[in-house]
Amino acid sequence: MELEAIPGVGAKTAAALSELDDPVATVESGDVAAIARAPGVNEARAARIARGAIRRRHDDAGRVLATDRAREVYREAIDLLRERTVTDYAAKRLETFYPSASASRIAEAQSAAADATTREPDPEVRDALAGVEPLDDPPTVRVRDRCLATADAEMFARAERAVPELSVETVEDARDISELGRSYATVIVIDEAFAGLDVDGDVKVRPDALETPAETVPERLLAFFATNRERLEAAAAVHEAAAVAGDPVAPDGPAADLDHLRDALARLDDDGTIVGDDELARLTDAVDDLDAAVSTAASVADDRLREAIRERDVTIEGTDFLSLVEQGARVDSLLDRELADEYDEAIAAAREHLADALRLEPEEAELAEPIFDGDPSFPVDHDEAAVSRLRTELAAARDRRSARLKADLASDLGDLREPVEALVRDALELDVELAISRFARDFDCTMPEVVDPDADADPGESIGAGGDGTIDSGFRIEGGRSPLLDVAFDDAEPIDYAVSGATLLSGVNSGGKTSTLDLVALVVVLAQMGLPVPAESATVERFEEIHYYAKSQGTLDAGAFEATLRDFGDLVEGADGRLVLVDELESITEPGASAKIIAGILEALDDQDATAVFVSHLAREIRDAADFAVAVDGIEAAGLVDGELRVNRSPKKGHLARSTPELIVEKLADDRGGEFYDDLLEKF
Ligand SMILES: Nc1ncnc2c1ncn2[C@@H]1O[C@H](COP(=O)(O)OP(=O)(O)OP(=O)(O)O)[C@@H](O)[C@H]1O
């Protein structure tokens, strides 16, 4: 597949994505974190790309959300889900759920969501999730003590790409290689042709070096794990907390052995160096402390000698004395002759101090001996060249040890490299699942049935309309409660509503007509996203498009009115498979004209087998203006109690609800009586 075949992926994004290991598979996997590892692709964009790939896989080019208000309802649904995530990743990843008209996409999302809702949200897991983030690729570490060498131009280019951490050097022959050996501690020759090469120094011929980066540049893996330490520890904690809560993240346990991971991380410092190895620490300290230890060792010897000299009576022969006086001769010869044993002891003490202070091994101590080995002197002298030789030796041992430990740890971590990707991905996906589960629990959701509009072959799949028989289009919601209401969810009254075909929804002021449209839109949008809906049960047609028009703010001028009318003209063209929700369209123009226009639109929609709910206060007028039997539902007030409307929020099928003014006139007629009110009431 061409990356550019994915909706929304242009040449530039395709180029960025092609930097991924397996671009097509990654994009198709829908793994937002993995896609976001492409340069310049953030998680929000990655979510859009993943959504594009999903659309392509399901051959789902349609746009279900056809109006601003429909898109707004989708955003509100996504926000309700996003509020229930812990990680940024999950918040973005939820955007891969979109209302689809594809049966296979809806089924796929429903199956994922159904699994998700079996998750038990657990506070410990929630806390642990706070530290989880997608794994990061650390910047390339430059390693300067090692190089790759090749005589082949093609290999050179490949090596530079595969191992950007190391310099790649061109060589022609063994002499060049040996030359390199002087500038680099280790030279790795990658040409087969040099097999059997014998040059001094740490020179290896490794034709497989580019394929075994863990050995060639263990620093890469170490830097990766060091950079991601906190994320990995957090992911491990999530897996553990979930297991303790009895709801493991993955059925077969964590993708990586957590003890193994922790043990490996404990051996790694934040800068990618090795910690916790006594021998490496000893060698590192020995190199660092060498100068200081030599100087204290010399003081130890000096103290000893000073003590010895102080306690000794020295008899000096006249000739010696004379030569001392005449030539300003040093006392070294005297020291040698008179205090030879004491001097030897002082030197031994110095050597012992040095070996102790630096914790030298016997062979290193032997190497240290020449440091205090010169002609007797006071104060005791040391040999700087011998110090330098010891330093070189200790530093080489330190580097060898560190390289070996790095290679060991890298090979250990190499086994964990892929599993930790899955470990973190599973933890992040758990956050997505938990958000869906919380949403479903917080709003008492059920998984809706989304039926094929052409499913009349299977009567079991048809949507029953309020007990008036069965239909095979529209929607049916039972016990629906909208989380979008301006009242607390606990106070939302459940609504039953089913519509097939084009219907007017009448009702008292503030009866809940707009809220009913919102509920219908939300349920249908969620259902087509493949998610559970806030209702006791719901069955919806798989709509091709959702057109939801919010109440217009006042009368439109001629131009805007014409534009709106044109919109509806387009809307009624091929409206089959559409859900049309319209709130008080009458406010766009004067009531008489509005009633005629709405009647005409309803008629066209009804002819097209669209599903439509038009909220209107002009239901009676529209019905009169229509050339067909318009269905009218009504949100009925049970009456006025203490000046407040008591409303039955579920629309009554086939019922023109009495308006608020009618109710008030009726109340006055009842309360006060009299001709005036009775006549008024007659007029309704
Ligand atoms: N199902 C419900 N449960 C609880 N409260 C509700 C419900 N539906 C509506 N309400 C409350 O009634 C108020 C009015 O609802 P809504 O705006 O939907 O009525 P309306 O019939 O569209 O009003 P109008 O005729 O003025 O346009 C809402 O703000 C909400 O507080």
Is 510 assigned a ligand-binding role in the annotation?
yes
> 242-246, 422-426, 673-677: which has the minimum mean pLDDT?
673-677
Query: Which pLDDT band, with edges at 50, 70 and 90, does 9 fall under?
Result: confident
* 352-366, 419-433, 595-609: segment of lowest average pLDDT: 595-609
Tell me what pLDDT residue 330 has: 60
- For a substitution probing ligand 1, which of 485, 585, 647 has the most ligand atoms within 8 Å of its CB? 485
Please write the tens of the pLDDT for every residue from 189-239: 999 988 888 888 789 999 999 998 888 999 999 999 999 999 999 999 999
What's the CA gap between 189 and 203, in Å, rounded?
Answer: 7
Q: What is the pLDDT of residue 533?
A: 98
Buried-state track 451-467, b at ≥16 Cβ within 10 A, e below 16: bebebeeeeeebbebbe
Give residue-wise pLDDT tens across range 482-502. 999 999 999 999 999 999 989
Mutate to test the pocket of ligand 1, among 490, 515, 586, 659 (most ligand atoms within 8 A of CB): 515
At residue 327, the pLDDT reads 65
Give the ipTM.
Answer: 0.98
User: What pairing do the DSSP bridges indicate for beta strands 631-641 and 644-652?
Assistant: antiparallel
Q: Has 513 been labeled as part of a binding site?
A: yes
Residues 518-546 have a mean pLDDT of 97
Query: Is 555 labelled as part of a ligand binding site?
Result: no
User: In 10 A of CB 469, how many CB atoms?
Assistant: 9
List C-alpha distances in Å: 193 to 148, 166, 171, 172, 387: 14, 21, 12, 11, 41
Residue 511 assigned as binding residue: yes
Does residue 114 carry a pLDDT above 60? yes
Distances (CA, A) of 121 to 164, 431, 617: 44, 10, 45
Interval between CA 493 and ligand 1 midpoint (Å): 10
Q: Is 552 annotated as a binding residue?
A: no
Q: Which atom of ligand 1 approaches the CA of 584 most closely?
A: 27
* Least confident among 155-169, 321-335, 350-364, 662-676: 321-335
Structure tokens at 511: 């009866």
Residue 374 has pLDDT above 80, yes or no: no
Domain spans, the chain: 146-216, 284-390, 461-683
Cα separation, 466 vs 458, whole angstroms: 19
> What is the 657 CA–ligand 1 centroid distance (Å)?
15
Q: Residue 333 — very low, low, confident or very high, per pLDDT cuts 50/70/90?
A: low
Half-sphere exposure of 253 (CA within 13 A, CB side): 4
Fold entry, domain 461-683: Rossmann fold (3.40.50)
Nearest CA to ligand 1 atom 4: 492
The alpha carbon of 495 and the centre of ligand 1 are apart by a number of angstroms equal to 12
| Average pLDDT for the chain | 88
The CA 520 to ligand 1 mean position distance, Å, reads 14
Distance 94 CA to ligand 1 centre (A): 29
Look at ligand 1, atom 15, and give the residue with the nearest C-alpha: 512
Most confident segment among 173-187, 369-383, 466-480: 173-187
Query: What is the per-residue pLDDT across 50-91, written as a single tens digit (0 to 9) for each?
Result: 999 999 889 988 889 999 999 999 999 999 999 999 999 999
Give the pLDDT of residue 462.
Answer: 47
Length of the chain counted residue by residue? 684
Q: What's the pLDDT score for residue 461?
A: 46
Q: Is 509 annotated as a binding residue?
A: yes
Cα of 613 from ligand 1 centre, angstroms: 16
Q: What is the pTM (predicted TM-score) of this model? A: 0.82
Name the residue at shortest CA distance from atom 9 of ligand 1: 512
CA 551 to ligand 1 centroid distance, Å: 14
Please choose, from the candidates 662, 620, 655, the residue with its C-alpha nearest in 3D space to the C-alpha of residue 640.
662
How many angstroms separate the CA atoms of 507 and 52, rounded?
42
Contact 435, 89 (CB under 8 A): no
CB under 8 Å to 213, separation ≥6 — which residues? 162, 163, 220, 221
pLDDT tens, residue by residue, 438-487: 999 999 999 999 998 754 544 444 454 444 444 578 999 999 999 999 99
Q: Whose CA is nearest to atom 7 of ligand 1?
A: 512
> Torsions phi, psi of 202, nearest 5?
-85, 85
Confidence at residue 565, expressed as pLDDT on a 0 to 100 scale: 84
Is the model more confident about 362 or about 644? 362
In the predicted model, what is the mean pLDDT of residues 305-317?
80
Provide residues with CB under 6 Å of ligand 1: 485-487, 491-493, 495, 507, 509-515, 649
Query: What pLDDT does residue 466 have?
Result: 44
Q: Is 512 annotated as a binding residue?
A: yes
Q: Give the dihedral sign, CA 313/319/321/323.
A: negative
Residue 640: its pLDDT value, please? 67
The answer to whether the annotation marks 246 as part of a ligand binding site is no
pLDDT value, residue 683: 75
For residues 508-513, average pLDDT: 88
In our burial notation (b when 16+ CB lie closer than 10 A, e otherwise), range 540-563 reads: bbbbbbbbbbbbbeeebeeeebee
